[in-house]
Amino acid sequence: MSQLPCPHCKDHGISWWQKYKAAKWAIIYCEKCGKRSCSHPFILVFYTMLYVWDVMLFGYLFYLTGNWWYALTLLAGWIILDIFSVYLPVCAMKPKAPTTTQS
């Protein structure tokens, strides 16, 4: 079911669902090589601010006016942002540092 290329091994080891979760600040793992990837953090900050702007602006306008068009606009904006979230670029993460215990 994997359809998207991994930034590490370039093999198709990332599913669409994993890429969707990566846009929600989740770390994803390649099914082929097992290495970690994520969406680029600087892009995610901007993308998260779009979500916040959508909810705050149209939710507040709906709260003030009671006009359902604002609620529908909020919902439409949320759906559009979710659809575009699978098109955010995925970047490779460095391997985890080995843990050491001190005696």
pLDDT of 60 = 94
pLDDT, tens digit (0-9, with 9 covering 90-100), for 17-74: 999 999 888 999 988 888 999 998 899 999 999 999 999 999 999 999 999 999 999 9
Which tokens sit at 89? 């670029």
**Using 50, 70 and 90 to split pLDDT, how confident is the model at 1?**
low
- Domain borders along the chain are 4-92
Closest CA to 78 of 61, 102, 53, 95: 53
Q: What is the mean pLDDT of residues 85-94?
A: 87
Q: Are 3 and 12 a contacting pair, CB within 8 Å?
A: yes
The encoded tokens of residue 23 equal 């846009």
By C-alpha distance, which of 77, 71, 95, 88 is closest to 25?
Answer: 88
The answer to pTM > 0.85 is no
- Give residue 46's pLDDT: 92
CA 12 to chain centre: 19
